[in-house]
Amino acid sequence: MKSFVVVLLKELSDASRDRRAVLSLFLFPVLAPLLIYFMFNKIIDLGEDALDIELPVAGAEFAPDLIDFMQQNGISIKPLDLDVSNNGFSAATSVQLKTAIENRDYDFALLIPADFARQVAASVTVNVELHHDSSRTGGGIKVARVQNLIEAWGKETSVLRLMLRGVDPAVARPVNVGRIDVASDQARAQALLNMIPMFVIMAAFMSGVGIAVDATAGERERKSLEPLLVNPVQRSQLIIGKWLAAALFSIMGLITVMALNVLALSQLPLEMLGISFYIGANEVAGILLVTIPLALFATSLQIFIGIFARSFKDAQVYIGLMSLLPMLPFLYNTLNNNGRELWMSLVPMLGQNMLLADVVSGRTPAMPDFVLAGICLLAWSAGFIALASRLLKRESIIFS
């Protein structure tokens, strides 16, 4: 058997008995899909809650037309006992309502002045107050819906005012903007699911880190690296064996996180968010073409960094900082308005993030794009492995 195969089997055998390595393989690939599942469930629940709104209103009797309009659009009105006058609302009333909202007696409330009907009849702009707490993310959707309904009633009232005066309402509306969304359902899904590429890249870094650290810094800490190097094995074959063992764990983590993500998304009623998500054979093949070289790159970088560490704890600090790297392409992709360009395929992780985003959105890139990104990552991986092999020839690395 080739020497690197012997090292590979030895590392896999050790890793299968190492709880830290097994935990690093399954912990993140399981937690990430669960996070996506519960997060989207929460978003869907918030959307459903926005369809069933109970609105506390003070002065509802002064605006029967507005209240009737809101009730016809699914808003349930709850009377609110507060002091209402023709001049608006007293400071004591505002303080009382603010205290009630802070104590979570209400999420929001609408205040209508007593002279609402008179001002509307006189074609005067009337002010109503919608009190809410913007720090509560769950209530933001409901507040926006209530505000939109009030504004819609106001537009209808404006049209009626113009018609009563014999004025065509079109005079006040010189331009109509027709918004035509050309994005496919899959592309709209990608806008909401843009965290998945980041999770996939993070899985590549976190699934094989247990073996990568233990096979380098762990060997040095246990003082088992020196007798290992006494064997008639080339440094490169030793490093390749350790690298491939870590890469296999990383690939298993990638496959796990992708399978569980697809399973989680298939169980979600995404149509309630106005999006659809479909992963077919072409998309799966594209994701594998992108992610497998990513696993080789991530573990080669971890092997290279682990060689420098004097102990397992040192390696954890270095690689812990390195785990932030997958977030950088995600942030760039979030702010990028130019789409994917050729040079991105030459940048590790950035090209993979952009390709994964295209695959998830249903825009499967051409095969040369996958090949270029894969070759780039393999070249970087070979460079890190070559540098790690050369470092093992230094006495300062072996005996320090």
pTM value surpassing 0.75: no
Tell me: do 215 and 119 sit in the same domain: no
Quote the DSSP letter at residue 130. Answer: E
- Alpha-carbon gap, residue 221 to 207, rounded angstroms: 22
Cβ contact 224:159 at 8 Å: no
pLDDT grade for 383, boundaries at 50, 70 and 90: very high
Tell me: do 148 and 199 sit in the same domain: no
Q: Nearest CA to 344 among 329, 358, 323?
A: 329
Tell me: do 39 and 56 sit in the same domain: no
Q: Which of 172, 194, 220 is the last residue of a domain?
A: 172
HSE toward the beta carbon, residue 183, CA cutoff 13 A: 14
Q: Is residue 177 part of a domain?
A: no
pLDDT grade for 365, boundaries at 50, 70 and 90: confident
Residue 191 has pLDDT above 70, yes or no: no
Residue 117 pLDDT: 86
- Alpha-carbon gap, residue 219 to 228, rounded angstroms: 9
Q: According to the per-residue pLDDT averaged within each range, which of 24-28, 284-288, 296-300 is highest?
A: 296-300
pLDDT grade for 370, boundaries at 50, 70 and 90: confident
Cβ contact 8:241 at 8 Å: yes
Tell me: do 290 and 217 sit in the same domain: yes
- Alpha-carbon gap, residue 273 to 191, rounded angstroms: 12
Q: How long is the chain?
A: 400
Residue 1 has pLDDT above 70, yes or no: no
Q: Is residue 180 part of a domain?
A: no
Residue 89 pLDDT: 61
Cβ contact 143:53 at 8 Å: no
Q: What does the pLDDT look like over 217-272, one tens digit per residue?
A: 777 777 777 777 777 778 888 888 888 888 888 888 888 888 888 788 777 777 66
Q: What does the pLDDT look like over 117-142, one tens digit per residue?
A: 888 888 888 888 888 888 776 677 78
Q: What does the pLDDT look like over 44-65, one tens digit per residue?
A: 777 676 667 888 888 888 888 9
Tell me: do 237 and 207 sit in the same domain: yes
Tell me: do 25 and 81 sit in the same domain: no
Q: Is residue 287 part of a domain?
A: yes
Q: Is residue 178 part of a domain?
A: no
Residue 263 pLDDT: 82
- Alpha-carbon gap, residue 11 to 86, rounded angstroms: 81
Residue 21 pLDDT: 66
Tell me: do 128 and 71 sit in the same domain: yes
Residue 17 pLDDT: 75
- Alpha-carbon gap, residue 229 to 394, rounded angstroms: 12
pLDDT grade for 277, boundaries at 50, 70 and 90: low
The first and second tokens of residue 175, run together, are 């331009």
Domain with 318, as residue range(s), is 3-43+185-399
Tell me: do 194 and 343 sit in the same domain: yes
Q: Is residue 72 part of a domain?
A: yes
Instruction: Compute the average pLDDT of residues 266-292.
Output: 72
Instruction: Compute the average pLDDT of residues 203-224.
Output: 80
Lay out the sheet containing 129-132: strands in order across. Answer: 75-79, 53-58, 108-111, 129-132
Q: Is residue 74 part of a domain?
A: yes
Q: Is residue 179 part of a domain?
A: no
Q: Strand (E) positions, the chain? A: 53-58, 75-79, 108-111, 129-132
Q: What does the pLDDT look like over 66-102, one tens digit per residue?
A: 999 988 888 888 887 766 555 556 666 777 778 878 8
Tell me: do 206 and 301 sit in the same domain: yes
DSSP state string for 12-81: HHHHHT-HHHHHHHHHHHHHHHHHHHHHHHHHHHHHHHTTSEEEEEESGGG-HHHHHHHHHTTEEEEE--
Report residue 120 CA to chain centroid gap.
Answer: 46
Q: Which of 145, 172, 199 is the last residue of a domain?
A: 172
The first and second tokens of residue 218, run together, are 């762990």
Side chain identity at 77, as an amino acid letter? I
Contacts of 275 (CB under 8 A, 6+ apart): 185, 186, 188, 189, 192
Residue 278 has pLDDT above 70, yes or no: no
pLDDT above 90: percentage of residues in the chain? 4
Tell me: do 273 and 372 sit in the same domain: yes
Tell me: do 58 and 86 sit in the same domain: yes
Contacts of 299 (CB under 8 A, 6+ apart): 208, 211, 212, 243, 246, 247, 250
* Average pLDDT score, the chain: 78
Position with higher pLDDT, 27 vs 305 = 305
Q: What does the pLDDT look like over 166-184, one tens digit per residue?
A: 887 777 777 877 777 666 6
Q: Is residue 324 part of a domain?
A: yes
Tell me: do 307 and 273 sit in the same domain: yes
Q: Which of 172, 197, 219 is the last residue of a domain?
A: 172
Cα first-last separation, the chain: 32
What CATH number is attached to the domain comprising 81?
A: 3.40.1710
HSE toward the beta carbon, residue 324, CA cutoff 13 A: 5
> Based on the structure, what is the number of domains in the chain?
2
